[in-house]
Structure 1
Amino acid sequence: MVQLASRIPHKDYTEAAIVRFLRGISQPFPAAPSLDKQFYLECHAGAVERGWPADSVAKHLPGGVAMGSFGYAHLPNRTTRILIAIYTACGIYLDDVYKEDVDAASMFNQRFFEHSPQADPVLDCFARVILELGDHFERVASNIMMTSTLNAVTALTLEFKTQGMPIHPKALGYPTFSRVMSGASEAYTIFIFPSDLPLRAFVQILQQCMIFINNGNDVLSFYKEEIDEECVNRISFLATQTGKSKQLVLENLAEEAIVAHRNVTNVLEQHPRALAAFRSFVAGYIGFHAAAKRYRLNELDL
């Protein structure tokens, strides 16, 4: 597999961008960590309890478990980590299943607000998870997470309906707008901080942390997306809009992520617990990408 990857044109500059990103945040690339089997079983049981069919959950759950295990290992409440794992697995399921068949996803929000059954039992599971956010987080925080999640579901329909749409050079901000909408990065940022931390301890870093999360994922998923010939993504949009190469766009996003990481740590220095939580998340966030086979990072020399 590595020999095959070595013939892929974007491999070298993708490796360079990822290495630069990791050095810029002082984070080594880890060996792919192993999932906690007991935690996996608890997440599996939790997903099934919330309506996910037992015979299909295993396909999408490992990525969610990796996020709950590694990205949020510092959270003291195990049930919160299980909820995050199922939440992430539902997002992976949506991305995999409804990218080209958006009917059920396009109706998700309306059915959610009406408390109507969804078109898919996994979406019923997701709706239950969203409603449980308020049991784990402060009200303002959980409200932000809910709206962020509903926007992420809507983004699937947006992507579907705008396939092939030319990106106007003066439509500045659209590629990042659509990327933020699809990433639920507000939710993943707030997940970082234990629920007993006051909102004022971390609310000022939300936007910069969102940049770190979104750009970091764009950098770490670029290799896989290029192999799969995906073009409905921010790097492709920005390259088309600006006339820059994908390599240069990738490098710029990596640099933006480094700056955002620095800004977050600077702000959180006055809140040691919040800073410790963020640093733990960063290490686990990289670990999640290393563990998730969908990103194919094992094929790169990192």
Structure 2
Amino acid sequence: MNQNTKLTRIREHPREATGQSPDELITTVSDILEEMLANLRISHCSVDFNQELLEAPLVEARNRGYALSGVHSLRHALSMGVYLTSTMYGHVTDNAQRTYIIFYIMFMFYVDDTYFGKSDRENGLLFFISRFNQNQPQEEPSLTAFATFLREDTATVFEPIGGGIIIASSLNFINGMILESSVSVAQISPFAQGFPYFVRNKSGFAEACIILAFPRDMPVIHYAQAFPEMLYFVLDLTLRPSDIMSFYKEELVGESENLVSLLAAVTDSKIEFFQNFKICGSGSPCIPVTRHEKYEVLRHLSRAVSLGHQRTLQILAGAPLAREVYLKLAKGYVCMYISMRERYKLDELNL
């Protein structure tokens, strides 16, 4: 079977292309996720959230003039901002930073939920960055509010380096969404080994997620050396949707436009894997893909996440405060996904 035929089969018959029956899929994915959670030493997650946590942010949103009803309403996104802040950033106690995190996640969730998959003609994000750079109104009110928040609040709450990383990460996310909306597995050249990671890294805001976790007055240099490993950990547990935690759900419905499917589709994907967790020139981890089967790609991704986690702890051994923050961040992110059991069908995997 030639590669073009395989690409078509992955798109039209995803379960047949991976060579798995439903029972095999459940067993394989369950084993992979259990192994990863054991390596991360995460066995118990407690999510403390109630509607009362939404009251103060809702008042603040009204005071800021954010749209909370109508076509461009941020109301649902605000609820998600409060929920995700509680689950992922529950360790953050600074009020200004916590408020920033809530609204930042709100805007990012709104952008993702509203504009992902839209064509260029429909996509209000197409000129977002050029308008942002020129301080011009955006396509619609909530995008204008997002641009203002990003420009003004970031500079107020965070020191220059951290704030700069947040803004750059956010604008990369916008570009990545536009790019990803125009890409499908069927269009990928079988020789484009680096392209899946290029699109994947652009279509998330992992750098910002890391900065948000650390005290805003902590110099970035205190944890900068561990940034590549933390970045990889966050990339593979938090982007839309998480390639690892949501793989089972996506495979059930035949979703193929994700990192696992893209890596399974390219040829000559076997990349040298060094025991010291080699990082490729593009900043992407060098992952070995021994077979063009999605579950093999998933297994390698999950093991590399575990390895990156251990490397981060080793690097931060001399910075106990930063190490403690990272451990809370890591557990918070994993527990956030585990708490969304129904969405990711984790009960079917006995997790």
TM-score (norm 2): 0.77
CA distance in 2 between partners of 1:228 and 1:83 (Å) = 35
1:115 pairs with 2:129: no
What do you get for the CA RMSD once the two structures are aligned? 2.2
Q: 1:115 to 1:296 in 2, by over 3 A?
A: farther
Q: How does 1:138-153 map to 2 (within 5 A)?
A: 138-153=159-174
Alignment partner of 1:239 is 2:287: no
1:56-135 to 2 correspondence within 5 Å? 56-102=73-119, 103-131=123-151, 132-135=153-156
Distance verdict in 2 for CA 1:8–1:61, change over 3 Å: farther
* Per-residue CA distance 1:73-121 (angstroms, 9 max, x = gap): 1222123122212222222222222123252011211121122222222
After TM superposition, give the deviation of residue 250 of structure 1 in Å.
Answer: 0.7
Please say if residues 211 and 260 of structure 1, whose CA atoms lie closer than 8 Å, have aligned partners that are also in contact. yes
Provide the residue aligned with 1:187 in structure 2.
208
Aligned with 1:218 (options 243, 246, 254): 243
Which digits, 9 at most, give the CA deviation of each residue in 1:179-226, with x for residues without a partner?
Answer: 111111111111121012122110111111110011223211222322
Decide which of 27, 35, 53 is 1:12's aligned counterpart.
27
Q: Give me the whole-angstrom Cα distance separating, in 2, the residues matched to 1:230 and 1:236.
A: 9
Select the residue among 176, 185, 192 that pairs with 2:197. 176
In structure 2, which of residues 296, 301, 314 is the aligned counterpart of residue 248 of structure 1?
296
CA distance in structure 1 between the aligned counterparts of 2:74 and 2:344, rounded to whole angstroms = 20
Q: Which one-letter code corresponds to 1:45 in the other structure?
A: V
> Alignment partner for residue 344 of structure 2, among 283, 295, 298?
295
Contact 2:26-2:348 at 8 Å conserved across structures: no
Query: What is the aligned partner in structure 1 of residue 331 from structure 2?
Result: 283
Deviations 1:13-55 (A, max 9, x none): 2222221111111012526x24243322223334444443212
Determine if contact 1:235/1:249 at 8 Å carries over to the other structure.
yes
Aligned partner (choices 40, 53, 56) of residue 39 of structure 1: 53
Give the partner amino acid of 1:279.
L
Compute the TM-score of the two structures, normalised by the length of structure 1: 0.89
Aligned partners of 2:253 and 2:216: how far apart in 1?
Answer: 39
Counterpart of 1:240, as a letter, is: A
Cα distance change on mapping 1:283 and 1:94 into 2, 3 Å: same
The structure whose RCO (Cα within 8 Å, separation 6+) is larger is 1
Asked if residue 24 in structure 1 is aligned to residue 24 in structure 2, the reply is: no
Report if the CA contact (8 A) 1:106-1:157 is conserved.
yes
How has the CA–CA distance of structure 1 residues 61 and 9 changed in structure 2, closer, same or farther, with 3 Å as cutoff? farther
One-letter amino acid of the counterpart of residue 39, structure 1: L
Give the secondary-structure state (helix, strand or coil) at the position aligned to 2:335.
helix
Cα 1:144/1:64, change in 2 over 3 Å: same
Which residue of the partner structure matches residue 16 of structure 2?
A: none
Q: Report if aligned partners of 1:90, 1:126 keep a CA contact under 8 Å in 2.
A: yes
What is the distance in 1 between the residues matched to 2:26 and 2:62? 39
Identity %: 28
> How much has 1:146 moved relative to structure 2?
0.5
**Cα displacement (A) at 1:299:** 4.4
Aligned residue among 308, 311, 322 for 1:274? 322
Aligned counterparts of 1:50 and 1:175: Cα–Cα separation in 2: 39
Query: Contact conserved, 1:42 with 1:82, CA < 8 A, in 2?
Result: no
Alpha-carbon deviation of 1:123? 1.6
What is the distance in 1 between the residues matched to 2:293 and 2:330?
28
Could you tell me which amino acid in structure 1 is paired with residue 32 of structure 2? A
Q: Name the count of aligned residue pairs.
A: 296
CA distance in 2, matches of 1:159, 1:63: 23
Kept in 2, the 8 Å contact 1:22–1:29? The answer is no
Distance in 2 between residues matched to 1:47 and 1:229, nearest whole Å: 38
